Structure 1
Amino acid sequence: MWFRNLQIFRLGSDWAYTTEALAQALQTGIFQGCGATDRTARGWVPPRGEEGELVFSVARQQLIALGVEQKLLPASVVRQYAQAKLEQIEAAQGYKPGRKQRREITDQVETELLPRAFVKRGLTYVWIDPVNRWLLVDASSPARADEVMEQLKLSLGELPLTLVKTQVAPATAMTQWLAAGEAPGSFSIDRDCELQAAADERPAVRYVRHSLDSEEVRNHIANGKSATRLALTWNDRVSFVLTEQMQVKKVSFLDIIKEDAERQAENADDLFAANFTLMSGELAQLLAHLVEALGGEGE
């Protein structure tokens, strides 16, 4: 349940969902799984497992989860089976099937194969912080976050959500920090980054496990490259990679934080609650400091 990636949204001031109201609203979109001929299915599942509630809540922090199933049926397999059937039809009727018939046969073959296809299952956690007005999706890509937003809209209607914008763009700030050799406040620069030029081909230089406090890095910046990704550590407790799109990736919590959760727990339910409490507490502080380091929120 420890989040690895953060797609960050700001909750509007009119967000008024209590845990009970949110759980009731999510009931309309409970996960049902793929039917025999469905390619995909998605819906809300209990974040703590089948026996739990749809909304897990501790200290006014809420956790929900979107379950997704996808049938794995490659187009090449459909074409292979459809071609065999088309050849049988051609042999029987003495001429090649027309375009319409070929399309109908392909659709028929797909319908026949879908019930036998393997199913890939996924789970996306969503943390809602009404106190500090954050909504965070544990997803590595905006596309996965969009799935969550679409499902939330189906369950809740209009969403008072916006992407977070800061006074200083992340790319500008990260470039300045690299040029100065240090990050502000409780942040420190780690050893991974990506520098990219604004030219048409967007030439890029990537550093992995490499000292970034060097003339080589500063020369790239002086020659017009800017930082699009930068590995940072906050307060010696959480490491992550910040991107130019204000996405937080590769989140890693110091082992002592997880050990604290384990010491507090007497059983699996207690451990889940302790993990969520500690994670949400750490990330709420990290986000506040990150926005501050980027000049505060913009309009």
Structure 2
Amino acid sequence: MWFKNLQIYRLTAPWTMTSEQLEASLAAQTFSAGTSVEMQTQGWASPRENGMLVHTVNRQLLLELATEKKLLPATVVNQVSKARAAELEEQQGFKPGKKQMKEIKEQVTDELLPRAFSIRRSTRVWIDPVNGWLVVDAASPAKADEVFKLLLKSLEQLPFASLRTERSPLSAMTDWLAADEAPGGFTVDQDTELRATGEGKATVRYVRHTLEPEDVRRHIAGGKQCTRLAMTWSDRVSFVLTESLAIKRVAPLDVLKENTDSMARDDNERFDNDFMLMTGELAKMIADLVQALGGEEQQKKAA
């Protein structure tokens, strides 16, 4: 159950809410399947499918946002609307205007929605009251924003801010590659992206390719900066750091997998072991990464 992507946020005030209080606050926004005429529905679901909206292990909290969306391609709506407009033109003797076309599309959408396929996706949220982190397993900030919109509906207040560091990942990653030296506790892997800042934004990508220091330095000297860098932390977790301080492609290495598998007796215990191991390891990794980037930006942290 390891998170694949990390959108990281700092809790700006101590977390004082108990699991029971959080459960009660989320209950009003519990997920329920959408009706035949709803394009999208969202709500809190049980991370363990046991009816509980908050799963707690070792003071770490796990939430899950469920999203159900109807698949109704615009091309289908446009095709049916075009045929419907042609029929109307024949009846009334002139082409439908903008207002009529809008009404036709709305009517067609309402008619087709009950027959549209639905897809459901889940976005998991880890709240770490001990170290003050809030982490969303999302590949983009837009998906994380969906979580926060519903959290703010569910809670009276949620003091958080995006994680900001004294050094930008763009600058730090470029310097690490130029010096051919990763920060303490980390190693550089074989995937990276270097992009120019000019109008053309020329880009060079290395995928499972040994990074030759001289080649990399030549690209940097030519004005390119590192926007993505694959790294490994403490020989335990591999990931890709991006220029926006998002962490992607998170994967525990074999040493962690072996320890987890040997401890678990059943699925429930395995899930809890995985969650406890993940939160423990990632909390340390995030702290080390923040330190490698010069620490948290003091003005933002104070705000």
Q: TM-score, length-normalised on structure 2?
A: 0.95
Q: CA deviation at 1:72?
A: 0.5
Taking only aligned residues, the RMSD between alpha carbons, in angstroms, comes to 1.3
Percent identity at matched positions? Answer: 52
SS in 2 for 1:229: strand
- Residue in 2 that maps onto 1:138: 137
Deviations 1:96-139 (A, max 9, x none): 33332222121111101111100111000111100000011011
Q: CA deviation at 1:219?
A: 1.2
Q: CA deviation at 1:201?
A: 2.2
Number of paired residues? 298
Letter in 1 for 2:105: T
- Any conservation in 2 of the 1:181–1:213 contact (CA below 8 Å)? no
The reply on whether 1:244 has 2:243 as its aligned counterpart is yes
Measure, in 1, the Cα distance between the counterparts of 2:194 and 2:97. Answer: 53
Measure, in 2, the Cα distance between the counterparts of 1:238 and 1:5. Answer: 13
Q: CA deviation at 1:89?
A: 2.6
122-131 vs 34-43, which moves further: 34-43
Measure, in 1, the Cα distance between the counterparts of 2:287 and 2:174. Answer: 20
- Residue in 2 that maps onto 1:173: 172
- Any conservation in 1 of the 2:14–2:129 contact (CA below 8 Å)? no
- Any conservation in 1 of the 2:34–2:41 contact (CA below 8 Å)? yes
- Residue in 2 that maps onto 1:12: 12
- Residue in 1 that maps onto 2:269: 270
**1:1-299 equivalence runs, <5 A:** 1-49=1-49, 51-299=50-298
- Any conservation in 1 of the 2:194–2:224 contact (CA below 8 Å)? yes
226-235 vs 212-221, which moves further: 212-221
- Residue in 1 that maps onto 2:301: none
SS in 2 for 1:242: strand
- Any conservation in 1 of the 2:14–2:132 contact (CA below 8 Å)? no
Deviations 1:245-281 (A, max 9, x none): 1010011111231232222221111111011011111
Letter in 2 for 1:143: A
- Any conservation in 2 of the 1:181–1:212 contact (CA below 8 Å)? no
Do the aligned partners of residues 213 and 17 (structure 1) sit closer, same or farther apart at CA in structure 2, a change above 3 Å counting? Answer: farther
Letter in 1 for 2:25: A
Measure, in 2, the Cα distance between the counterparts of 1:200 and 1:79. Answer: 36
Deviations 1:213-250 (A, max 9, x none): 42010111122211111110000010000011101001
Q: CA deviation at 1:293?
A: 0.7
Measure, in 1, the Cα distance between the counterparts of 2:253 and 2:39. Answer: 40
Letter in 2 for 1:46: S
Measure, in 2, the Cα distance between the counterparts of 1:58 and 1:97. Answer: 60
SS in 2 for 1:103: helix
Measure, in 2, the Cα distance between the counterparts of 1:70 and 1:164. Answer: 30
SS in 1 for 2:76: helix
Q: CA deviation at 1:95?
A: 3.5
Measure, in 2, the Cα distance between the counterparts of 1:213 and 1:167. Answer: 28
75-84 vs 123-132, which moves further: 75-84
Measure, in 1, the Cα distance between the counterparts of 2:98 and 2:218. Answer: 60
SS in 2 for 1:221: helix
SS in 2 for 1:80: helix
Letter in 2 for 1:30: T
Measure, in 2, the Cα distance between the counterparts of 1:135 and 1:239. Answer: 20
Do the aligned partners of residues 97 and 254 (structure 1) sit closer, same or farther apart at CA in structure 2, a change above 3 Å counting? Answer: same
Runs (5+) with no aligned partner, structure 2: 299-303
SS in 2 for 1:42: strand
Measure, in 2, the Cα distance between the counterparts of 1:277 and 1:102. Answer: 55
